[in-house]
Structure 1
């Protein structure tokens, strides 16, 4: 699956918080951008963002003079940032949950910017929808878990680790679909056949606390 770094736009335009909104508008028009990243002043500062929506909703809508307003007066800071290793489907989920259309991609430094347009135009969700990929992963994981069980025994570390992966994938698939869990997951059916596994799993979880 694609990550944020695979589809982000690397050519990012930044602006100072002290710049005027008029300067921001000119830069957006020149670069044909929907948003500008407000640069940090030092390594303890946070990145900000100013979007076309900010300008329309906070400046144009109230008849304010963009030559007299500063970027810091209408920007969002700190802004939500995206880890470059985040899967594209999670970027989309974050945008959906927050109402965002664009966000900077940051890992220590500004790497790029990602927008809903990048997701639509560069994403592989048509060819590889997450739910379909997870279904394929689940089939493989169950087969691997059954093999581990046959080779090493139902209570072996290899078998337990393999079934934990099955459980994780099945949980993720249910989350992606917004679906309730089935009455019994593949792992629960395995535990029905091997009840001693649940006790071992509880002991393993307690050992991590």
Structure 2
């Protein structure tokens, strides 16, 4: 699976929080960047970020002077950071959850920046890893279901609920692969323990 470190942009610039917004604009224009990382004031400090949107919405739209306004007045700090070893799919989920457009990649120090554009450029690699993750999750849930049923009884509600989880995962896998599920893991289990089918008739 691709990781954040595989697709991040290593050519990234930092700017002081005390710099003017006009300085930030000049730096953005000079390299055709969309955002800058705001450097830490000391090692224990957090990184920040200033983007084109921050400048447009918080400075220009408000009629404020970029020559006198400072970066620290409009930056986002602390900003959400990405571990370079994080899988690409999980990076995408993090972006979706927090409505991010970009984030710095940090592991002790600033390594790069990753954006939605970077993710989309490599999205063709996401489908297969997702299926592999589901397969791994499925096998784990089948093991759990068998343990639960052995402990609580094959007719127990706990046993039925555990197999519900398994079937949900199998249904998602079938959808991902665009394939019809021939036989579920629960049906295989019922071949061994026919009485377990009765547990699926419980009322929630």
| Deviation of the 1:45 alpha carbon | 0.2
Change (3 A) 1:189 1:107: farther
Query: Is residue 2:27 matched to residue 1:27?
Result: yes
1:129 aligns with 126
> What secondary structure, in the 3-state scheme, does the structure 2 residue paired with 1:77 have?
coil
Which protein has the larger Cα radius of gyration, Structure 1 or Structure 2? 2
Query: Is residue 2:1 matched to residue 1:5?
Result: no
Q: Number of matched residues?
A: 164
Change (3 A) 1:120 1:73: same
- Report Cα offsets for 1:1-44 as digits up to 9, x if no partner: 21100000001100000000000000000011000000111111
Equivalent residues in 2 for 1:65-76, closer than 5 Å: 65-76=65-76
| Deviation of the 1:85 alpha carbon | 1.0
1:202 aligns with none
Q: How many angstroms apart in 2 are the aligned matches of 1:18 and 1:71?
A: 6
Work out whether residues 3 and 84 of structure 2, in 8 Å CA contact, stay in contact via their aligned partners in 1.
Answer: yes
Equivalent residues in 2 for 1:95-134, closer than 5 Å: 95-121=95-121, 123=122, 125-126=123-124, 128-130=125-127, 132-134=128-130
> What secondary structure, in the 3-state scheme, does the structure 2 residue paired with 1:59 have?
helix
TM-score of the aligned structures, taking structure 1 as reference length:
0.66
- Report Cα offsets for 1:144-191 as digits up to 9, x if no partner: xxxxxxxxxxx9xxxxxxxxxxx7xx48x67x97xxxx9x973x5566
- List, as ranges, runs of 4+ consecutive aligned residues in structure 1 with deviation greater than 2 Å: 132-143, 188-195
Q: How many angstroms apart in 2 are the aligned matches of 1:13 and 1:83?
A: 18
> What secondary structure, in the 3-state scheme, does the structure 2 residue paired with 1:62 have?
coil
Equivalent residues in 2 for 1:20-59, closer than 5 Å: 20-59=20-59
| Deviation of the 1:94 alpha carbon | 1.5
- Report Cα offsets for 1:59-100 as digits up to 9, x if no partner: 010110001100000000000001111111221122122221
Q: How many angstroms apart in 2 are the aligned matches of 1:139 and 1:94?
A: 22
> What secondary structure, in the 3-state scheme, does the structure 2 residue paired with 1:64 have?
coil
Change (3 A) 1:185 1:56: farther
Root mean square deviation of aligned Cα: 3.6
Listed as ranges, the gaps of 5+ residues in structure 1 are 144-154, 156-166, 196-209
Listed as ranges, the gaps of 5+ residues in structure 2 are 140-149, 151-165, 194-204
